[in-house]
Amino acid sequence: MAFNGAIGIDLGTTNSCVAVWCNDHVVVIPNNNGNRTTPSVIAFIDERMLVGDDAKRQVATNPSNTLFQAKRLIGRNFSDPIVQSDMKHWPFKVTSNGNNQPRIAIQSRGSTKHLAPEEVSAITLKKLKADAESYLDKKVTDAVVTVPAYFNASQREATINAGKIAGLNVLRVLNEPTAAAMAYEMQRAKKGVGFDFGGGTLDVSLMRVGDDVFEVIATSGDTHLGGEDFDLLLMSYCVDEFTKKHTGKAVSAPRAIQRLRIACEAAKHKLSSATTAEIVLDSLVDGIDFEATITRDCFEKMCDGLIQKTLTSISHVLEDVKMNRREVDDVVLVGGSTRIPKVQKLVSEFFGGKELNKSINADEAIAYGAAVQAFVLAGGQSQLTDALLLLDVTPLTLGVVAYGGAMSPLIKRNTTIPVQVPGVHWSIKEVFHLPLQRKTGSIVEDKLLSATRGLIRILSRNNTLVPHLKASLRPQHRHHLLTLSQPLHGVHWWMKETFNLPLQRTQPQPLLVQQL
């Protein structure tokens, strides 16, 4: 089997998938259990570590030591309201490392260990890498890893770090809806909407596809909206039903909650093809059984608010480019949550009853596109891929924040990348938070002053005008990371984009560039 060393990975909130381009087609690689997707779940039991299917099977009996949804933590601060909210629903313990970075506590080999979200994701990536190597009987070195289009820079960089920990050279972090679009064969020029609704995130991208060119025009989404949120609503409903029947009894034990979570997820899946689903749990609390019949109509009503939010993201994409919904030729569905009938119905109605494109497995489409991109970036040659051109956009506005909070945009959201914005001037007297890294041999002296919120203020010695500041998303930066350069008296200062990254690092990383 011809293989050039690069694989495509869909690192999902709930499930992950790995694929490879071989012999002019994409192969989705099964795991050691024969399944084409692998749960993004890791468990520690006694002195063993379980990953994927094996870990998910024992979550109800080992809840505090089974880790899942690491993607909802990656690249975020511990104090992030989203993290604080999610922690209430997890059976495992999340703490701060003292620098406002989340750490997941686990018991392993008789002691407590604290894992960074990147380390947890790296375990899943390492499992997918091993499955690929076993299937291909070859060493895997490179990978394209997908992320939600609306991931910010800290989340992207954390994903890259997870790849490094797993022993992978990440060729590119590719936006998930863009990867999905590459999996669909659109021979003639079309304007298509990629609707990627997975276990934890929603991405909506407007694309122009045709003649081997995949051009992203605009993107929107929600990094905290997916199938997991439907599960939580159904769990809340079941808890309410239980407490109504059994006053004074609370469904609070971690094992009971995880049993209920598993049952609600199964019921949700069944309601995509059936009109009713039974939830039956023996001895859920203090020997009391729980039974409930969930109708599709009941489920859709309780989840209507979440479904309506998906339509808001579609509207935002079209409004950004002032496009009428009737101009959209194709709507591509990706992600397991698109199987929910009400989601399909409302998306179709939004586009005037348009038939939705479901021609490829919704769970595999993203890995499929990532495999194509991995083959191309690793230097693979094929008549089917040689002419492919991918044009993506930056999903969030990038800019400079002056002391006091005013922001000056540099690169607006939905700008095609790579891009360079030259000729921006500021006076140092205005005191910007400039986290500039000095090149070796620099003769410019600066005074570093501590500022509020742990930021650093940089003042030049004589408070002179900063001559020039360029911002660019360069071609080699395939991960949507910004580079700033500042020529000053012939000395260049460089800063790799670090907005929204943790401030506690070997070198200070104050807030310079912000996303809106």
Beta bridge partners of 49: 44
Do residues 44 and 166 share a domain? yes
Residue ending a domain, choose from 302, 330, 349: 302
Active-site hit among 118, 119, 176, 215: 176
Q: How many CA atoms lie within 13 A of 261 on its CB side?
A: 23
Residue 159 lies in a domain: yes
Q: Are residues 143 and 15 in the same domain?
A: yes
Tell whether 428 and 383 lie within a shared domain: no
Q: Which of 348, 370, 391 is the last residue of a domain?
A: 391
Q: Is pLDDT of 191 > 70?
A: yes
CB 143 within 8 Å of CB 29: no
- Which of 71, 127, 129, 342 is an active site residue? 71
Domain that holds residue 445: 396-515
Report the greatest alpha carbon distance in the chain.
77
Q: Is the distance from CB of 483 to CB of 495 less than 8 angstroms?
A: yes
My answer on whether 88 and 156 are in the same domain is yes
Q: Is 283 helix (H, G, I), strand (E, B) or coil?
A: strand
Residue 199 above 60 pLDDT?
yes
How many alpha carbons lie under 13 Å from residue 51 in its C-beta half-sphere?
A: 17
Q: State the average pLDDT over residues 267-292.
A: 97
Question: Is residue 14 a contact partner of residue 228, using CB atoms and an 8 Å limit?
Answer: yes
Catalytically annotated residue among 86, 119, 142, 196: 196
Q: Does residue 430 fall inside a structural domain?
A: yes
What is the domain-level CATH number for residue 265? 3.90.640.10
- Say yes or no: 136 and 281 in one domain: no
Query: pLDDT category, 498, cuts 50, 70, 90?
Result: very low
**119 and 17 fall within a common domain:** yes
Same-domain check for residues 370 and 404: no
Phi then psi for 64, rounded to 5 degrees? -75, -15
pLDDT of 381: 81
Q: What is the pLDDT of residue 10?
A: 98
Same domain, 369 and 473: no
Domain assignment present for residue 473? The answer is yes
| Residues 46, 102 within the same domain | yes
**Residue 386: active-site member:** no
Domain annotation covers residue 71: yes
* Predicted local confidence at residue 501, as pLDDT: 26
Q: Could you tell me the CA-to-CA distances from 432 to 304, 416, 507 in Å, in that order? A: 45, 27, 18
164 is catalytic: no
Asked whether residue 29 is domain-assigned, the answer is: yes
pLDDT of residue 251: 94
Looking at the 3D structure of the chain, how many domains does it have?
3
Helix (H), strand (E) counts: the chain = 11, 30
Per-residue pLDDT band for 499 (boundaries 50, 70, 90) equals very low
In a domain, 435, yes or no: yes
Short-list 115, 106, 125, CA closest to 66: 106
* CA–CA distance, 102 with 119 (Å, rounded to integer): 12
Q: What is the pLDDT of residue 277?
A: 98
- pLDDT of res. 482: 55
pLDDT tens figures, 434-449: 433 333 333 222 322 2
| DSSP string over 329-355 | -EEEEESGGGGSHHHHHHHHHHTTSPP
Position 93 in a domain = yes
In angstroms, the CA 178 to CA 148 distance is 10
- Indicate whether 4 pLDDT > 50: yes
* Residue at which a domain ends, from 391, 411, 436: 391
Query: Any idea which of 16-20, 158-162, 450-454 has the lowest mean pLDDT?
Result: 450-454
For residue 509, the domain's CATH number is: 2.60.34
CA 2 to chain CA centroid, nearest Å: 30
Answer yes or no: do 249 and 151 share one domain. no
CB 53 within 8 A of CB 38: yes
Residues 250 and 284 reside in one and the same domain: yes
Q: Which residue among 10, 118, 222, 265 is the active-site one?
A: 10
Question: Given pLDDT bands bounded at 50, 70 and 90, which one contains residue 153?
Answer: confident
| CATH number of the domain to which 98 belongs | 3.30.420.40
Residue 280 vs residues 208, 228, 246, 388: alpha-carbon distances, Å: 47, 20, 16, 51
Q: Evaluate whether residue 244 is within a structural domain.
A: yes
Mean pLDDT score, 182-203 = 80
> Is the per-residue pLDDT at 493 higher than 70?
no
Rounded distance between C-alpha atoms, residue 224 and residue 227, angstroms? 10
- pLDDT at residue 267 is higher than 80: yes
Of the chain, the percentage scoring pLDDT greater than 70 comes to 77
Looking at residue 29, the DSSP 8-state letter turns out to be P
Q: In the annotation, is 157 catalytic?
A: no
Confidence of residue 46 (pLDDT cuts 50, 70, 90): confident
- Give the whole-angstrom CA distance, residue 92 versus residue 76: 17
* 297 and 444, same domain (yes or no): no
Q: Residue 84: what are its φ and ψ, rounded to 5°?
A: -60, -35
pLDDT tens-digit series, residues 474-491: 444 556 555 544 443 333
Closest CA to 365 of 196, 183, 177: 183
Q: What is the pTM of this model?
A: 0.82
DSSP per-residue string spanning 120-162:
HHHHHHHHHHHHHHHHHTS---EEEEEE-TT--HHHHHHHHHH
β partners of residue 115: 104
Whether residue 176 lies in the annotated active site: yes
